């Protein structure tokens, strides 16, 4: 549906320029509430009018002076007339079409293969081929299956004969619409099995487990039905709303402030911790490998942040300063080599309380180096980061991973 919105924007008394606007449902707008009244209005609109919220993740986080990114999808004239806004994107339908087109034309061997987004089928195929082409280095590990019974395959990248190496775990695609995340896991794997000096050093000390798509049902759904889907695709018994936020489903202050017990919410925590097969599979794997896994990494987008525990409380982690120094060093490398800014800090204080996250859970399990990366961008394209940005987004994240991994090796 392409509802035409007629947005008549009134002049604001401060010098913000506001024009009369025509807005379509395939636009993404950035709106900043200036008063508490506007905050309430925005919250209402984003709950009532089938508005798609990009940022923040759920209406309860809307605050004064913090830009809200949304795609209005219904006639919401009365609300919009009270705001000044900026159009972020004008043609999301066209962008989505471009990003999903000929997903499997280039051969996997070409580097441009890694500079495009891939369908779930393509990623499964890629996993298969990668293990076949590098059998001495890359193995596939089936860690479980999704709600809709799709396999959850992780790659194990390992060199040399040594058996009891330490390990890094990295998962991507916990949130379905964050397409740069699975793209990063593929990019990362490529650079690991191709190796350069630093990577060889890392692999001499550590094995690497890579889960390219932790939420395959949701990812599939973003390709077929709704590009902006976030959660998994599980049905609940007492609601017609589908999906649990897998990053609220872990056992870390589960379902307290910052998560929701309402199945229709984007941050629905599920019926109980690890109620979802996807989070349970990752948790089981980490529980049974907790003596080897020293570094836990989980990749999201967007907003450019390097976060570490805790997100489920405002308390500081026991090795907060150590984590802070590592994140800072990684952010400095990104700035120096890629001229890009990443914020860093404990999740709860840097963004918001978000209990039930995989990073906090892994941390409490005993994996003392645990990070959530929020990749590019900061809202220009948001979840629709164009394929032409994949290489820079991935390379800068890669240098952050490398920096942190080298530090972990020194320490353990």
Residue 53 CB, nearest approach to Zn ion (Å): 13
Residues with Cβ within 8 Å of 341's Cβ and at least 6 positions away in sequence, in order, are 304, 331, 334, 335
> Out of 266, 274, 374, 396, which one is annotated catalytic?
374
Contact partner at residue 402 from Zn ion, ligand ARG, none, CB < 5 to 8 Å by partner kind: none
Q: Which own/partner pairs from 272-277 qualify as long-range (CB within 8 Å, at least 24 positions apart)?
A: 273/249, 273/356, 274/249, 274/250, 275/244, 275/249, 276/147, 276/232, 276/234, 276/244, 276/246, 276/249, 277/144, 277/145, 277/146, 277/147
Which alpha helices (DSSP H) does 232-290 contain, by range?
277-288
Q: Are strands 85-89 and 28-31 parallel, antiparallel or unpaired?
A: antiparallel
Task: Look at residue 307 and give the partner it binds from Zn ion, ligand ARG, none, a contact being a CB closer than 5 to 8 Å depending on partner kind.
Answer: ligand ARG
Question: Does 368 help bind Zn ion (rule: CB under 5 A)?
Answer: no
Binding site for ligand ARG (CB under 6 A): 57, 247, 300, 307, 311, 347, 354, 357, 359-360, 372
Q: Which does 294 bind (CB under 5 to 8 A by kind): Zn ion, ligand ARG, none?
A: none
CB of 319 to Zn ion, least distance (A): 24
Nearer to Zn ion, 227 or 300 (CB): 300
Q: Which residue minimizes CB distance to ligand ARG? A: 357
Q: Which does 357 bind (CB under 5 to 8 A by kind): Zn ion, ligand ARG, none?
A: ligand ARG
In the bound state with ligand ARG, the residue whose beta carbon lies nearer, of 39 and 307, is 307
286 versus 307: smaller Cβ distance to ligand ARG: 307
Residue 406 CB neighbour total at 10 angstroms: 16
Out of Zn ion, ligand ARG, none, what residue 255 binds, judged by CB under 5 to 8 A for its kind, is: none
The residue (of 27 and 249) whose beta carbon lies closer to ligand ARG is 249
Verify cis geometry, omega within 30 degrees of 0, for the bond prior to 56: yes
Nearer of residues 30 and 265 to ligand ARG, judged by Cβ: 265
Alpha-carbon distance of 115 to 62, in angstroms, equals: 34
**Three-state SS for 90?**
coil
CB of 206 to ligand ARG, least distance (A): 23
Question: Which residue pairs from 15-19 have beta carbons closer than 8 angstroms and sit at least 24 positions apart in sequence?
Answer: 16/84, 17/84, 18/83, 18/84, 18/85
57 binds, among Zn ion, ligand ARG, none (CB under 5 to 8 A by kind): ligand ARG
Q: Which residues face 155 on adjacent strands?
A: 140, 210
Contacts (CB under 5 A) with Zn ion, residues 153-192: 175
Q: How far is the CB of 347 from ligand ARG (least distance, A)?
A: 4
Say which entry of Zn ion, ligand ARG, none residue 354 contacts (CB below 5 to 8 A, set by partner kind): ligand ARG
CB of 195 within 8 A of CB of 239? no
Q: Which is nearer to ligand ARG, 23 or 249 (CB)?
A: 249
As measured in angstroms, the least distance from the Cβ of 359 to ligand ARG is 5
Binders in 286-345 for Zn ion, by CB under 5 A: 300
Residue 231 within binding range of Zn ion, rule CB under 5 A: no
Backbone φ and ψ for 358, nearest 5 degrees, come out as -70, -35
For residue 40, indicate whether it is catalytic.
no
Residue 328 CA to residue 336 CA, distance in Å, equals 12
Q: Are β-strands 151-157 and 206-211 bridged in parallel, bridged antiparallel, or unpaired?
A: antiparallel
Cα distances from 223 to residues 115, 226, 261, 365, in angstroms, run 17, 7, 27, 34
Which residues within the stretch 87-106 sit at the binding site for Zn ion (CB under 5 A)? none
Q: How far is the CB of 44 from Zn ion (least distance, A)?
A: 25
Compute the least distance from the CB of residue 287 to ligand ARG, in Å: 18
Owner of token pair 């972990």: 408
Count of H helices and E strands in the chain? 12, 14
As a dihedral over the C-alpha atoms of residue 123, residue 128, residue 129, residue 130, rounded to 10 degrees, the angle is: 80
Q: Which is nearer to Zn ion, 167 or 255 (CB)?
A: 255
From residue 402, alpha-carbon distances to 66, 357, 360, 376, 395 in Å are 32, 23, 21, 18, 10
Interface positions with Zn ion (CB under 5 A) = 175, 300
| Residues assigned a catalytic role | 374
């Amino acid at each position: 549906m392409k509802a035409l919105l007629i947005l008549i924007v009134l002049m604001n008394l401060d010098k913000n320029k506001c024009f009369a606007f025509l807005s379509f449902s395939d636009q993404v707008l950035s709106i900043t509430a200036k008063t508490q009244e506007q905050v309430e209005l925005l919250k209402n609109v984003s709950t009532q009018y089938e508005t798609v919220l990009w940022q923040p993740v759920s209406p309860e986080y809307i605050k004064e002076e913090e830009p809200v990114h949304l795609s209005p999808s219904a006639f919401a004239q009365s609300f919009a007339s009270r705001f000044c806004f900026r159009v972020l994107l004008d043609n999301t339908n066209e962008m989505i079409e471009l990003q999903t087109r000929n997903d499997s034309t280039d051969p996997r061997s070409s580097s441009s293969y890694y500079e495009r987004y891939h369908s779930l089928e393509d990623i499964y195929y890629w996993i298969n081929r990668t293990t076949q082409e590098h059998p001495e280095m890359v193995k596939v590990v089936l860690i479980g299956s999704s709600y809709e019974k799709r396999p959850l395959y992780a790659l194990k990248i390992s060199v040399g004969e040594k058996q009891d190496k330490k390990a890094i775990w990295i998962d991507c695609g916990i949130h379905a619409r964050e397409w740069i995340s699975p793209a990063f896991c593929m990019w990362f794997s490529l650079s690991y099995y191709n190796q350069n000096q630093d990577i060889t050093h890392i692999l001499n000390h550590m094995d690497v487990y890579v889960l390219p798509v932790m939420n395959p049902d949701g990812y599939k759904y973003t390709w077929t039905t709704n590009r902006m889907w976030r959660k998994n695709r599980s049905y609940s018994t007492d609601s017609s709303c589908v999906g649990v936020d897998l990053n609220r489903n872990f056992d870390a202050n589960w379902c307290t402030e910052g998560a929701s017990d309402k199945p229709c919410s984007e941050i629905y925590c599920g019926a109980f911790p690890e109620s979802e097969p996807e989070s349970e599979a990752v948790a089981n794997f980490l529980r049974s490998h907790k003596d080897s896994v020293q570094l836990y990494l989980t990749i999201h987008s967007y907003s450019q942040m390097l976060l570490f525990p805790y997100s489920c409380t405002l308390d500081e982690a026991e090795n907060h300063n150590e984590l802070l120094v590592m994140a800072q060093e990684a952010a400095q490398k990104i700035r120096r080599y890629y001229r890009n800014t990443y914020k860093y800090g404990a999740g709860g204080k840097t963004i918001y309380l978000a209990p039930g996250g995989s990073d906090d859970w892994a941390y409490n399990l005993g994996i003392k180096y645990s990070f959530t990366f929020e990749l590019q961008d900061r809202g220009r394209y948001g979840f629709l980061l164009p394929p032409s940005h994949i290489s820079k987004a991935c390379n800068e994240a890669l240098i952050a991973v490398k920096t942190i991994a080298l530090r972990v090796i020194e320490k353990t």
